Amino acid sequence: MTNSAKRERLTIDLSAEEHRKIKAYAAYRGKTLREFVVESLKTQMALDAEEEDLFMMTTKATEVLQELWDNEKDSAYDKILKRGNPSGLNHFKGQQRKHGVV
C-alpha cells in the first residue's frame, strides 16, 4: 500500500490484559501492533476462505462429481443399496448423499 492511499480506522475495545498480551506478542514477532493485527486478520480470512472452499468441494455436488456418480456402472451400486447390502457400501453412499455429494 502506498503512503498516499486512504486508510480507514478500526477501533476495538480490549481489556488491558488483552492489549498487553497482543502488544507483547507482536513485539516478540518483531512487528508493530498494527502490522501484527492486520497480518493476523488477513491470515484468518485466508484460512476461512480455504476452509469454505474445501467445504464446498466436499459437500456440494459439482458437475464432475455428478458425472462420476450418475453413470451406468454406478447404477449397480444403487441396486445393491436398495437391497440393503450389509457390506458398508450403504453407509458410504448414504453419507455421500446425506452431505449432498451425489
Confidence grade of residue 82 (pLDDT, cut at 50, 70, 90): low
Same domain for 25 and 45, yes or no, is yes
Residues 56-83 have a mean pLDDT of 68
Give the residue numbers spanning the domain of 71: 60-102
Cα(61)–Cα(63) distance, rounded to whole angstroms? 7
**pTM for the whole thing?**
0.49
C-alpha dihedral over 28, 33, 39, 45, to 10 degrees? Answer: 120
102 neighbors 65 (Cβ within 8 angstroms)? yes
pLDDT score at 49: 86
Q: Per residue in 20-57, pLDDT tens?
A: 999 999 999 999 999 999 999 999 999 888 888 777 76
Nearest C-alpha neighbor of 37 from the set 16, 51, 19: 19
Does any domain span residue 3? no
Cα–Cα distance for residue pair 32/11, rounded to 1 Å:
16
Q: How many domains would you assign to the chain? A: 2
